[in-house]
């Protein structure tokens, strides 16, 4: 069987057996990767600026991560939370210190982390006899695919098909301090769920003033502030968490994606009174915090330290944004805007060009993501080099020309 026929066979078999949740996927079967490069079943290599949607923070095939996973797999993969395990305890200590929080709970994904955060807040207020139960999130936000987290997602295309939705969620205009002030002063408001940089809707950061006021307004009014760091965490914005980038300390931070460099893991980190919201038996997980995922996450943090990766993100993020601004200046009739924070970057086009540009870049050997008709999202591995950024600039320029 020829390789090209194998690719077609994989795609056709997937269409037969896999539930149609992803629609028409990019017609590429990826088989291996190294650094910021991935190779498909036909042997074509691509510059990866998707990184598994901000997951592969160390790129592909990092030696320390691979060795650690293999070693842990040979010792203990899973034991459940009926028992303690060493990697879980070590990671709990390390992550709470890095994120400047007090307590942690491990799960398997970002949606699970946000679901647990919602339960933690509800548990806290219910135990205290409070009538607070309502959550507010931003329009155009994205918080996950469970029933509660799609309800918290401020985009009807994600939640309306699954009505009736859980009660107690509503939405605010993004970056609107006055709207935020109005709802935190309500007696039934339990929590504000906030992305400091909206990722799925196309890389839209909040203002510094909004982040600062959100923290203060919630604290002054007894409302819990949950910051969704599923995409912004793990150094993506130039600090370990986006909260540190903005200089705020919420009640809860949720993390996932890049936490173990590709292994499924999520985390809820909390501080202060809200940590009492869970009691024995009120929440749990079978796979969360398993030794394999936690050992992988420890290896990722090792590499963050060895490579001084957060400093590299600040440097490369600035360089990448400058490169995109140069390209925008050259093609000002096509590109409406470029923006970003750290290595979360977006290119906006005037004329619904994003899907076609994604496909043209794919043909030219670059993986990017279109988050809408106008926007390309770039989430490269945090190890991306200046040479690879220059490579993308040259390819993008050629494709635009």
CB atoms within 10 A of CB 305: 9
Cβ proximity of 304 and 335 under 8 Å: no
Owner of token pair 């003033």: 209
| Cβ partners under 8 Å of residue 370, min gap 6 | 354, 355, 357, 358, 376, 377
Owner of token pair 């936000």: 141
217-256 core/surface letters (b: 16 or more CB in 10 A; e: else): bbbeeebbbbbbbbbbbbbbbbbbbbbbbbebbbbbbbbb
pLDDT for res 3: 47
Q: d(Cα 150, Cα 140) in Å, to the nearest integer?
A: 11
Q: Could you read off the pLDDT tens digit of each residue along the chain, which spans 401 residues?
A: 344 578 999 999 999 999 999 877 899 999 999 999 999 999 999 999 999 999 999 999 999 999 999 999 999 999 999 999 999 999 999 999 999 999 999 999 999 999 999 999 999 999 999 999 999 999 999 999 999 999 999 999 999 999 999 999 999 999 999 999 999 999 999 999 999 999 998 999 999 999 999 999 999 999 999 999 999 999 999 999 999 999 999 999 999 999 999 999 999 999 999 999 999 999 999 999 999 999 999 999 999 999 999 999 999 999 999 999 999 999 999 999 999 999 999 999 998 999 999 999 999 999 999 999 999 999 999 999 999 999 999 999 999 99
pLDDT for res 23: 78
pLDDT for res 24: 77
Owner of token pair 């026929």: 5
| Cβ partners under 8 Å of residue 381, min gap 6 | 35, 36, 48, 51, 56, 57, 58, 59, 60
Domains and CATH numbers, the chain: 65-307 (3.40.640.10)
| Cβ partners under 8 Å of residue 150, min gap 6 | 143, 144, 158, 159, 162, 165
Supply the angle between the helices 386-400 and 354-363 in degrees, to the nearest 10: 110
pLDDT for res 22: 87
């Amino acid at each position: 069987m020829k390789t090209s026929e194998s690719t077609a066979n994989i795609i056709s078999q997937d269409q037969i057996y896999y539930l149609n949740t992803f629609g028409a996927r990019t017609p590429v079967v990826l088989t291996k990767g190294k650094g910021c490069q991935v190779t498909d079943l036909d042997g074509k290599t691509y510059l990866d600026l998707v990184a598994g949607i901000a997951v592969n923070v160390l790129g592909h095939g990092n030696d320390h991560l691979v060795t650690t996973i293999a070693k842990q797999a040979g010792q203990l993969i899973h034991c459940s939370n009926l028992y303690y395990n060493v990697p879980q305890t070590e990671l709990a200590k390390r992550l709470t210190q890095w994120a400047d929080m007090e307590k942690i709970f491990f799960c398997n994904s970002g949606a699970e982390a946000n679901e647990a955060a919602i339960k933690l807040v509800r548990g806290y207020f219910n135990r205290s006899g409070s009538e607070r139960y309502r959550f507010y999130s931003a329009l155009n936000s994205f918080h996950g695919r469970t029933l509660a987290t799609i309800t918290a997602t401020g985009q009807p295309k994600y939640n309306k098909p699954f009505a009736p939705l859980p009660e107690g969620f509503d939405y605010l205009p993004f970056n609107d301090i006055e709207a935020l002030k109005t709802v935190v002063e309500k007696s039934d408001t339990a929590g504000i769920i906030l992305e400091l940089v909206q990722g799925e809707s196309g890389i839209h950061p909040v203002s510094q003033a909004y982040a600062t006021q959100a923290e203060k307004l919630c604290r002054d009014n007894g409302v819990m502030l949950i910051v969704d760091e599923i995409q912004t965490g793990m150094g993506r914005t130039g600090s370990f968490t986006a909260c540190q980038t903005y200089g705020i300390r919420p009640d809860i931070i949720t993390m996932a994606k890049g936490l173990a460099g590709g292994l499924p893991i999520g985390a809820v980190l909390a501080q202060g009174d809200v940590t009492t919201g869970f009691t024995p038996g009120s929440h749990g997980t079978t796979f969360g915090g398993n030794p394999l995922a936690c050992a992988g996450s420890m290896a990722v943090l090792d590499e963050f330290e060895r490579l001084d990766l957060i400093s590299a993100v600040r440097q490369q993020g600035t360089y990448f944004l400058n490169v995109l601004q140069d390209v925008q200046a050259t093609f000002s009739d096509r590109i409406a805007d470029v923006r970003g924070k750290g290595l979360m970057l977006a290119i906006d086009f005037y004329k619904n060009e994003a899907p076609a540009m994604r496909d043209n870049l794919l043909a030219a050997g670059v993986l990017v993501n279109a988050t809408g008709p106008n926007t390309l999202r770039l989430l490269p591995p945090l190890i991306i080099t200046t040479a690879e950024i220059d490579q993308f600039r040259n390819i993008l320029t050629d494709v635009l020309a």
